[in-house]
């Protein structure tokens, strides 16, 4: 599981598949295996991680950097000791965004070739690079109370709704006091779920994602749309999340 769906472009209604999400995800094992098989054919480069849109990487990172700086001004602000990069691919986000801002960064990525590339790409950071977990997110559980920021970008489209909810529940437990989850994702504009049968992923409406977050017991504390992306791409939003405080 890695950075971005091949379905980064908006889907034309006339070209969309007729199968429903329920139909393609009914066998979750096959669904996940198909996605894993697809990504095993992708070259471990920035362009590969971004589905041929490597040119947007700089704009993407600058938008994320601005968003993170706003979060550090929140009260209470998240710490800057340790971050987790989920669906990390070859470590693009860790290298350009997280490692310059945090003392230590761990990565979680299911493709072993990408994990090896990340270890190589980030070797110059020495002890700042923590553990590179070779794990799919539907199986991954962050250590409780460990992370100031858990960064999740362009990867949740590969998880079923149930696994998405459960993953957020586990991530919430993985936060330090004052910690935040940051979700950066493509969203549809037509309130429908778009299906990419090539890489076995879905793109959800923002409202549906917020419903899943509510089920997981996390709330949105800041929301911002990524600017300056090409118009033919899906809208991309950044959501800062914290666990709902229980009375």
> Quick check: 193 and 205 in contact, CB under 8 A?
yes
- 138 is annotated as contributing to ligand binding: yes
- 166 is annotated as contributing to ligand binding: no
- 99 is annotated as contributing to ligand binding: no
- 92 is annotated as contributing to ligand binding: yes
- 204 is annotated as contributing to ligand binding: no
Binding-site residues from annotation for S-adenosyl-L-methionine = 87, 92, 137-138, 153
């Amino acid at each position: 599981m890695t950075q971005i769906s091949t379905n980064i472009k908006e889907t034309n209604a006339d070209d969309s598949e007729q199968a429903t999400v329920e139909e393609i995800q009914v066998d979750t094992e096959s669904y996940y295996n198909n996605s894993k098989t697809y990504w095993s054919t992708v070259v471990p480069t920035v362009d590969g991680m971004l589905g041929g849109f490597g040119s947007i990487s700089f704009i993407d990172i600058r938008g994320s950097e601005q968003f993170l700086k706003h979060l550090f001004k929140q009260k209470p602000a998240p710490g800057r000791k340790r971050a987790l990069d989920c669906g990390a691919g070859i470590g693009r986000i860790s290298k350009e965004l997280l490692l310059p801002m945090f003392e230590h960064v761990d990565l979680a990525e299911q493709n072993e070739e990408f994990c090896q590339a990340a270890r190589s790409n980030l070797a110059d950071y020495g002890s700042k690079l923590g553990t590179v977990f070779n794990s799919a997110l539907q199986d991954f559980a962050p250590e409780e109370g460990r992370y100031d920021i858990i960064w999740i970008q362009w990867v949740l489209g590969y998880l079923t709704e149930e696994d998405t909810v459960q993953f957020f529940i586990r991530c919430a437990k993985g936060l330090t006091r004052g910690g935040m989850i940051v979700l950066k994702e493509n969203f549809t504009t037509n309130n429908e779920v778009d299906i990419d049968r090539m890489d076995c992923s879905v793109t959800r409406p923002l409202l549906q994602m917020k419903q899943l977050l509510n089920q997981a017991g996390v709330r949105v504390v800041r929301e911002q749309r990524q600017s300056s992306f090409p118009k033919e791409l899906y809208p991309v939003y950044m959501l800062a999340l914290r666990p709902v405080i229980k009375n």
